[in-house]
Structure 1
């Protein structure tokens, strides 16, 4: 592995017991997808070698760990976090870990965040864009944001199905469109409810180039100015959204990342594979597309840029 290998902030794992728990809750086709992927450490490392990925930060994808039973969600969060921490310990140069939290259970999430960050050594936490219909600006979540802001935590925000997804998705898998819209929706909620302004030390990562945010940021600012939204003395919507981190999982070129660059710049752009929900061959094709895209500068490749950005994100002085 070369020193300039990609750093993948959007990488997933599943375990047999996690999938069994989801299926027991009736989630045979999560988010309208045909079924569950398979995953193993060996498969993941093989994909990384083929793709030139130096390190992957593992997280549980949608639908998260809360399937309706609060105590079961706490137990499942602890189980998957202990598993991922063990993988990280066995392969410290190849894997990091964003811990799952049992939201919308705030008390349980505070306890699990403390255990994951202080005991297991997680690199951050992973949340969904909404938790049983509660978006991330919801006042109920404020104690969690206070704690994560105090810690300067990396918070990886993964999209999930919105409320009434069956009606909205028109029978299509929700990751195709609804995931991108739900990322946009929860980011706007964080912005307009003032969470971003109140908690500037949280290092938020949004996925898939920020969804529709690059196209809608100016429109959001227009409404913020006309109707109010968030603290009156807060920076503009574009300024606040430019302070977030974005990964390029999905179809970054030829159109999505240039749109993100025009809106927010690429100083906080990160690489994401979306493996294992994205098959290995599709990851390889995406890496090839990234490699063949026009470079962001005369001296940087997209690989150089995203790897340098990731090292800055996880550096101690970024807190």
Structure 2
């Protein structure tokens, strides 16, 4: 393995919880569907195992938890998603088996088909050894707190699974996107919208054993948390959080990655809702270009409010608590 110690300053051997892959089966499906750009204009990025490992080595990333980014398989009709999802999950498992210490993966689910999603959860965890699952923030316009998805969350909770949330376009993107790429505004807003839905449907409170990772520094949650919590006092909203305090307490136990979110203004807001123990490193590569990944790392290193221990915990230790397979390999190779 190439040197992964170049970053220094408590950020050596990072575990990247927000990394993406485009295996050939997925890239070919996008091409067949005519998807040359994604999410309001982004070109489909190039990805390969070799390029991923080289980027990781240059940026001090020891392990990356790969997942699909937006639009996942939502560009297909729901009835056509199951087969592609299985191919993607098998590709993720193959990559993990080939490079067990370097890659983990979050399995994709064929939502909104709940019975198929439950079957894929069992297959991904019990047969393929997935490290968690990835869920887009909405499924064809249905948000994750929708009662139809309750069996999926109940099963993920039973398994105490890691659930990585990833934003995608809202159903009304053409009307509200202002002609600009969705990651600028709509991705953080859609992340916040689905967290509110999970809070106010009481899904997060009911399924407290699953470990949820919120991307991009909590998106708009730090700015809106007081407003979101205050609505718990309105008796005509049912279901709802039991109190304002419950909103803060629930958000405090979620995990948050810092992909594209190390700027001091953003990071200080995240620290108001999450302790250091819940903050994780993320790159968002290859959708975030390597120069942006490196800049994010340098910005965190330069944050004078973080101690060396804080940086080490964010870079690696918090993730090792979430991913026992990676932790065991790291201990064996120490």
TM-score under structure 2 normalisation? Answer: 0.90
For the pair 1:252 / 2:258, whether they are aligned, the reply is no
Equivalent residue in structure 1 for 2:234, among 211, 223, 226? 226
Equivalent pair of 1:65/1:101 in contact (CA under 8 Å)? no
Report what 2:22 is aligned to: 14
What secondary structure, in the 3-state scheme, does the structure 1 residue paired with 2:53 have? helix
More displaced stretch, 90-99 vs 288-297: 288-297
* 1:77-156 matches, cutoff 5 A: 77-156=85-164
Report what 1:64 is aligned to: 72
C-alpha distance in structure 1 between counterparts of 2:139 and 2:125, whole Å: 21
The unaligned stretches of length 5 or more in structure 2 are: 6-10, 326-334
Equivalent pair of 1:60/1:100 in contact (CA under 8 Å)? yes
What secondary structure, in the 3-state scheme, does the structure 1 residue paired with 2:234 have? helix
Equivalent residue in structure 2 for 1:312, among 309, 315, 321? 321
Report what 1:206 is aligned to: 214
Equivalent residue in structure 1 for 2:182, among 174, 179, 190? 174
More displaced stretch, 233-242 vs 163-172: 233-242
C-alpha distance in structure 2 between counterparts of 1:294 and 1:229, whole Å: 43
- Shift in Å, 1:84: 1.0
Q: Indicate how the Cα distance of structure 1 residues 238 and 208 shifts in structure 2: closer, same or farther if over 3 A, else same.
A: same
Q: Indicate how the Cα distance of structure 1 residues 309 and 229 shifts in structure 2: closer, same or farther if over 3 A, else same.
A: farther
- Shift in Å, 1:91: 0.5
C-alpha distance in structure 1 between counterparts of 2:303 and 2:274, whole Å: 19
For the pair 1:296 / 2:317, whether they are aligned, the reply is no
- Shift in Å, 1:69: 2.4
For the pair 1:161 / 2:169, whether they are aligned, the reply is yes
C-alpha distance in structure 2 between counterparts of 1:25 and 1:127, whole Å: 22
The unaligned stretches of length 5 or more in structure 1 are: none
C-alpha distance in structure 2 between counterparts of 1:233 and 1:259, whole Å: 24
Q: Indicate how the Cα distance of structure 1 residues 232 and 79 shifts in structure 2: closer, same or farther if over 3 A, else same.
A: closer
- Shift in Å, 1:250: 0.7
Equivalent residue in structure 2 for 1:270, among 280, 285, 288? 280
Equivalent residue in structure 2 for 1:32, among 29, 40, 45? 40
More displaced stretch, 213-222 vs 132-141: 213-222
Report what 1:239 is aligned to: 249
Q: After TM superposition, what 4+ stretches of structure 1 lie above 4 angstroms from structure 2?
A: 231-235
TM-score under structure 1 normalisation? Answer: 0.94
Partner deviation per Cα, 1:34-57 (whole Å, 9 max, x = no partner): 310000111000001110011000
C-alpha distance in structure 2 between counterparts of 1:15 and 1:78, whole Å: 12
C-alpha distance in structure 2 between counterparts of 1:308 and 1:16, whole Å: 32
Report what 2:192 is aligned to: 184
Equivalent pair of 1:9/1:56 in contact (CA under 8 Å)? yes
C-alpha distance in structure 2 between counterparts of 1:283 and 1:303, whole Å: 17
Equivalent pair of 1:161/1:178 in contact (CA under 8 Å)? yes
C-alpha distance in structure 2 between counterparts of 1:5 and 1:230, whole Å: 43
C-alpha distance in structure 1 between counterparts of 2:13 and 2:301, whole Å: 12
- Shift in Å, 1:229: 4.8
Partner deviation per Cα, 1:151-190 (whole Å, 9 max, x = no partner): 0000000000011101111000001111000000000000
Report what 2:59 is aligned to: 51
Q: Indicate how the Cα distance of structure 1 residues 15 and 305 shifts in structure 2: closer, same or farther if over 3 A, else same.
A: closer
- Shift in Å, 1:303: 3.8
What secondary structure, in the 3-state scheme, does the structure 1 residue paired with 2:17 have? strand
